A and B are shown apart, each in its own frame.
Chain A
Amino acid sequence: MNKLTAVPTRQAVRTTTPGIQVVSMHALIRRSSPLLVLLALGVCIGAFNHDFFDPMNLSRIAISAAIPLTIALGGTFVIQLGSIDLSAEGIVAVAAITVSMLVENSYNDNHFGLWVLAVAIAAGAVLGLTNGVLHVFLRIPSFITTLAVGFVASGIGTAWLSGNTIRVSDTALRSIAITRYLGLPLSVWIAVLVLGVAWFIHRHTLLGRHTLAIGGGEDLARLSGVRVSRVRIAVFALAGAFYGVAGILAVAQYGQGHALIANGQLFVAITAIVVGGTSLAGGNGSPMNTLIGTLIVVVLANGMVLLGVPPYVQQGIQGVLIIVAVTLALNRSRRRIVK
């Protein structure tokens, strides 16, 4: 008819070609952009300040990444569902206080040894389970449920200690932050182990696979026989367990337990998850993304200290980072309305 009648470009089915799929360059760049950002960030900071690549500084980065990574790994599963978990700070605090109370401390005469770590993780898991159960059975949006449970947990922590701080003198526990293997303290290795566990769950268990399926399309997943409620509850409990581990690391690192021990960690964790490329809409991302995201946040903070950026400006820059990351990572063209 005329030149406007061109057929839109869509590839037809290839029936006989070999099975290697050509992923478009654009998609490849979008998927690996967090790693590129991390590398670019490292190179830039290193160029301005050579101390950045100093082994001491690198181990400092690793140490300060351990706690946010552990929290963010738990949060990743929840965000993959398309939900959100805002209860991390409260749950970490409860777990931290639980540990502090049961090991050798300044508050009571307990001295139960390291098996109390399991109790801390269980405490986190129970609070996470509460999140999940309330969210699923009362059908309250996760945003509100976890916000409320987080407040309740913080409240429990504050009331428990009447606002005080417990000092921990247990050498075994403190050694988590002090004893070093290959130049890095145990806490870093624990975080690496947690990363491995998260990766295994994500990649090799039905829980991990079903989490992605629910995030990608809950109705479809349900119709396919995925037990959506059960998966949701399990994911929130799992996240709680991760926060429990983070609580242990926090006590080891600071040598004390109190209700505000995790203040500021929630923002860092969610930034890390999002910057790492896991979409808040759910259905994508992985623990590796979260590792990269956490490192971006921590490296940036570290670099700003090295470069002498004032502390308040640092916070502002972290805020900008979220906006930039979401802008880069999201394929927003498909979305008409953003709420």
Chain B
Amino acid sequence: MLTLKNVTKRFPGVLALDDVTIEIRPNEIVGLIGENGAGKSTLMKLLTGAYRQDTGEIMLNGQPMVIRNPRDATSKGIAMVYQEQSILPNLTVAENLFLGREEDFVTFGRLNWTKLKHAAKKELATVRLDVDPLTLCEDLSFGQRQMVELARALSLASRTGGTPIILLDEPTSVLEAAEIEILFRLVGELKSRASFVFVSHRLDELLSLSDRVYVMKDGKVVAEMPAAKASVAKLHELMVGRSMHGEYYRENLQKPCRKEVALSVNHASLGHALNDVSFEVYNGEVFGVAGVVGSGREELCRVIAGLEKLDAGEVTVGTARLKPQANHAVALGIGYVPRERKVEGLVTQMSVAQNLTLPRLGAVSRAGVVRKASERLIATEWIDRLHIKTPGPDASCRNLSGGNQQKVVLAKWRFAGSRILVLDHPTRGLDVGAKEEVYQLIRELSAEGVAVVLTGDTLEEILGLSHRVMVMRDGRAQAILPCAVGHKPSQVEIVEHMV
């Protein structure tokens, strides 16, 4: 029914979709799996009109078509239930269901609430959600909100008259087990009137629900098979199965580290995200944290950086217990290299020198007055040491390339004397060359005895760089695996713990 034919989508530096051909048949549930960055999200965005493909065609019932925007997509019978929920909490259920198409309920400019309520009731019945349509959405649970979204997507896409196609992007990531079960049962029932594309990291879920699965890797579709013939183990193998380049990650520089504890996390729990996580990181060690999005690794990084308050458990550095304050973390020698480089890592309007000295301004100032000369001197020194390509210490960080910006962030923490660095996706958005430079820097840090907690976009990167890898799933530490040079675990081994 809906076919993507030889679709390619390129972003600067990345080939997000590479000659992808996918078919969705009527009344079918299609599973879509792949690692982070495999191209699933890009694919979904193409189908909802958020992106346009560079080459290739999207065809509906054999007719090529252009999807201009999400609204246009729904008019062609394609609607998406978003991962981050896209209903307005300050409006009622009924209003959310019909937002933007209330015309049917208006008589002489007056909104007919009774009519709206009845129509909403009918839509809610299709998803078996029995709430008052005039309830504010903020009073619903996450699961209920998701049902509202599903109802909305269904009713939007059904207006065309054909079989609607509903895209479910990680629908289970925010749900409780009981809610997931309800959702699954519902999708199973609704199959008779719609097709579904289901994206999930949880393979067992996906296999139990889907009729057919597509496996994506590096922007390509690497396999397509009926779900009945697939096994979780086989999918794991297909999802990864990349050759490792030891050289690329400077593995020759990976030296065994002594067992001096730099940082220890004890029984850390945080809401939904972390559940009794414990581990230690040694001086000079690169400690990798692997897991899918939502496994709790992002939150873990933020906890160590002092940005989140734990519900239970503690983080200790030496004998000191970390308070949930970023400045305390800095005082204990913890540096955080955030994923959102331009938001949390750098003040982009400020110069290289100003950014560099920010965490330890005391060293370049006297009685609260910054001494420009010594600030510049220090900045120049670090620019040389890390080979930061900048017109000078006074250049604005905004104009640096991503790789050089990241170097400024790293230099900043080294100048601050950090002994523990938390690297949250340190190479995100960098090109290959810049990545290699960052890897080199990480090795140097490690050689100087700095403890590094690392999480990244690809497993390959985490495995290549780390001394040990902790695998997280649903907020728990599933396993901690040693990664000595030459004895690195395979990606398949890691993925088995991940999903």
Residues of A within 8 A of B (CB): 1-2, 4-5, 7-8, 10-21, 23-24, 27, 200, 203-206, 209, 212-213, 215-217, 220-221, 223-226, 283-284
Q: Which of A5, A17, A23 has the most CB of B within 10 A?
A: A5
Please tell me if the beta carbons of B143 and A12 are within 8 angstroms of each other in the complex. Answer: yes
Please tell me if the beta carbons of B179 and A8 are within 8 angstroms of each other in the complex. Answer: no
A283–B276 alpha-carbon span in the complex (Å)? 38
Partner of A215, one of B90, B129, B142: B90
Please tell me if the beta carbons of B312 and A4 are within 8 angstroms of each other in the complex. Answer: yes
- Inter-chain contacts of B13 with A (CB < 8 A): none
Partner of A216, one of B88, B141, B143, B176: B88
11 A-B residue pairs with Cβ-Cβ distance under 8 Å, sorted by A, are: A2-B267, A8-B272, A11-B141, A27-B139, A204-B110, A205-B111, A209-B91, A216-B88, A217-B88, A221-B100, A226-B100
- Inter-chain contacts of A226 with B (CB < 8 A): 99-100
The answer to the question of B396 belonging to the interface, with a C-beta cut-off of 8 Å to chain A, is no
Closest residue of chain A to B101 (Cβ to Cβ) is A225
Q: Which 10 A-B pairs have the closest CB atoms?
A: A225-B100, A224-B100, A216-B88, A13-B143, A216-B90, A283-B90, A224-B99, A21-B135, A12-B178, A19-B132
The answer to the question of B71 belonging to the interface, with a C-beta cut-off of 8 Å to chain A, is yes
A24–B136 alpha-carbon span in the complex (Å)? 12
- Inter-chain contacts of A7 with B (CB < 8 A): 176
The answer to the question of B144 belonging to the interface, with a C-beta cut-off of 8 Å to chain A, is yes
Residues of B within 8 A of A (CB): 69-71, 86-91, 95, 99-103, 106, 109-111, 113, 128-132, 135, 139-144, 147, 176, 178-179, 182, 267, 269, 271-272, 275-276, 312-313
Partner of B142, one of A2, A10, A224: A10
A13–B176 alpha-carbon span in the complex (Å)? 9
- Inter-chain contacts of B70 with A (CB < 8 A): 223
- Total number of residue pairs linking A and B with CB closer than 8 Å: 108
Q: How far is the CB of A292 from chain B (nearest CB, A)?
A: 19
- Inter-chain contacts of A1 with B (CB < 8 A): 276
Q: A12-B143, A19-B132 are in contact. List 12 more A-B contacts (CB 8 A).
A: A4-B267, A5-B269, A13-B129, A13-B141, A15-B129, A21-B132, A200-B110, A212-B90, A212-B91, A213-B88, A215-B90, A220-B87
- Inter-chain contacts of B276 with A (CB < 8 A): 1-2, 4-5
Given contacts A13-B182, A14-B130, A209-B95, contact A225 B71 (CB under 8 A): yes
A1–B313 alpha-carbon span in the complex (Å)? 14
Please tell me if the beta carbons of B141 and A19 are within 8 angstroms of each other in the complex. Answer: no
Please tell me if the beta carbons of B130 and A15 are within 8 angstroms of each other in the complex. Answer: yes
- Inter-chain contacts of B100 with A (CB < 8 A): 221, 224-226
Q: How far is the CB of B383 from chain A (nearest CB, A)?
A: 30
A220–B85 alpha-carbon span in the complex (Å)? 10
A4–B132 alpha-carbon span in the complex (Å)? 36
A284–B137 alpha-carbon span in the complex (Å)? 13
Closest residue of chain A to B124 (Cβ to Cβ) is A19
Please tell me if the beta carbons of A205 and B109 are within 8 angstroms of each other in the complex. Answer: yes
Given contacts A12-B143, A16-B130, A221-B99, contact A5 B275 (CB under 8 A): yes
Given contacts A21-B139, A206-B111, A223-B70, contact A10 B176 (CB under 8 A): yes
Please tell me if the beta carbons of A205 and B182 are within 8 angstroms of each other in the complex. Answer: no
- Inter-chain contacts of A8 with B (CB < 8 A): 271-272
Q: Which of A8, A18, A203, A221 has the most CB of B within 10 A?
A: A8
A14–B132 alpha-carbon span in the complex (Å)? 13
Given contacts A4-B276, A27-B139, A205-B111, contact A216 B91 (CB under 8 A): yes
Q: How far is the CB of B6 from chain A (nearest CB, A)?
A: 28
- Inter-chain contacts of A209 with B (CB < 8 A): 91, 95, 102, 111
Please tell me if the beta carbons of B130 and A17 are within 8 angstroms of each other in the complex. Answer: yes
Q: Which of A13, A204, A215, A223 has the most CB of B within 10 A?
A: A13
Please tell me if the beta carbons of B86 and A220 are within 8 angstroms of each other in the complex. Answer: yes
Q: How far is the CB of A159 from chain B (nearest CB, A)?
A: 38
- Inter-chain contacts of B95 with A (CB < 8 A): 209, 212-213
